[in-house]
Amino acid sequence: MRRTLPPLNALRAFDAAGRHESFSRAAEELGVSHSAISRHVRGLEARLGVQLFKEEARGVGLTPDGHAYLDRIAPALEAIGEATEALGEAPDSRVTVNAEVLFSHQIILPSLVDFTDQHRTVELRIDSSAFLADIDKYEADYAVRFVRSGVPDRPADLLSAAPMFVYAAPHMFGGQVPSASQIVASRLLQDRRNDIWQSWFEAAGHGADWRDEETSWRMTAPSALQAALGGYGVFLGAADAVQRSCQLGQLRRITDVSISEGAFYLISRREGRRNKAQRAVREWLLDLTARFRTPGFWEEDQPIG
């Protein structure tokens, strides 16, 4: 017997509101008004005879019935989208990832050929930039960003939370491992954030020796890395942001003192569903960085020397 189903628009409104636990964000995702989302949800609750949302101090939250219903209908809506995509016009196979320069050059680009070999029908474009593209306005499909504290206020996957170490060119310090005092006395290559070096000074037990701009060069992080490669000073950076340079023997880690200042995230649109090409890129980036999230990986991958 054929079952009577609620209107699809009501289910989509509930799905979006349930994922975000926000009527406003659901309205933004679906391109409708807040009142339209509220009307669809209230109509669905009346049809089902159960309360799906409850009022909370920060907005709305799902009730136990709401959680249970969302868990059942979300895969069904995803399946409808995939079936429609498969039968309809060919999905867009072009995917753009807007990524911070160091992560792009050190992690993504060296492995790009592996992705193209595995997904020959997907055109993956890497936009290396310090400026965050507006992915909700379709300037990019994803953005890779370093988030210094907390977590992004939008859909995001953790890629890497690597510690920050001090690095130098192989010939500096006569090829030996310097003491903390020698590092403190060196030229400090900065990415315009004095407090990062200050945090390292304090972690190394030399907080009183912090001297702000006395012997430091301030520049963008990519420029600071290039200066370090040339042996012009020591570079404090996230281990993932210098991985390629360390693998090629262009840099070496020179201390076991580290600080944690944030993490790289793969940021997505607030729009929930992704096409097949977008899902492939997301899964590849998560697989590419999976080992980075293993405890102790960076200390083993980049030994002091």
Q: What CATH number is attached to the domain comprising 205?
A: 3.40.190.10
**128 within some domain:** yes
Would residue 297 count as lying in a domain?
no
Q: Tokens in use for 251?
A: 């840099």
pLDDT, residue 219, reads: 80
What does the pLDDT average to over 289-294?
A: 92
The arithmetic mean of pLDDT across residues 219-236, rounded, is: 90
Cβ-contact 238, 167 below 8 angstroms? no
Q: Is 223 in the same domain as 277? A: no
Contacts by 28-32, CB closer than 8 A, 24 or more apart: 28/136, 28/270, 29/270, 29/271, 29/272
* In a shared domain, residues 142 and 275: yes
Co-location of 26 and 171 in the same domain: no
Question: Is 296 part of any domain?
Answer: no
- Are residues 136 and 188 both part of a single domain? no
* Nearby residues of 248 by Cβ (< 8 Å), 6 or more positions away: none
Domain membership of residue 140 (yes or no) is yes
**266 and 145 within one domain:** yes
Number of domains in the chain: 3
Pair 226, 249 in one domain: yes
The token pair that represents 110 in the structure block: 């060296």
Residue 16 backbone dihedrals phi, psi, to 5 degrees:
-65, -45
In a domain, 2, yes or no: no
Residue at token pair 């309205």: 27
Mean pLDDT (the chain) is 85
Inform me whether the pLDDT recorded for 255 exceeds 60.
Answer: yes
Residues 82 and 204 in one domain: no
User: Under the phi-then-psi rule, with left for phi > 0, alpha for psi from -120 to 50, and beta for the rest, what region is 256?
Assistant: alpha
Per-residue pLDDT, 230: 94
Same domain, 70 and 150: no
**Mean pLDDT within 184-197:** 78
Which residue would you say has higher pLDDT here, 59 or 134? 59
Q: Which domain holds residue 12?
A: 8-87
- Residue 90, pLDDT > 80, answer no
Based on the fold, state whether residues 267 and 245 are members of the same structural domain: no
Stated as kind and residue range, the H or E segment containing 44 is helix 34-48
Instruction: Please tell me whether residues 178 and 211 are part of one structural domain.
Output: yes
Tell me, what amino acid is at 205?
G
Strands (E), 63-197: 94-99, 123-128, 142-147, 156-160, 164-168, 188-190
Residue 61, domain CATH: 1.10.10.10
Same domain, 273 and 150: yes
Average pLDDT on 101-106 reads 91
Looking at the structure, tell me whether residues 230 and 105 fall in a common domain: no
**How far apart, in whole angstroms, are the C-alpha atoms of residue 58 and residue 39?**
20
The neighbour count for residue 30, using CB atoms within 10 Å, is 20
pLDDT of residue 215: 64
pTM, 2 dp: 0.68
DSSP class of 4: P
Dihedral, CA of residue 251, residue 220, residue 269 and residue 106, to nearest 10: -20
Does 15 fall in a domain?
yes
Question: Is residue 111 domain-resident?
Answer: yes
292: in domain: no
Output the pLDDT for position 305.
Answer: 78
Run of H or E including 113: helix 112-118
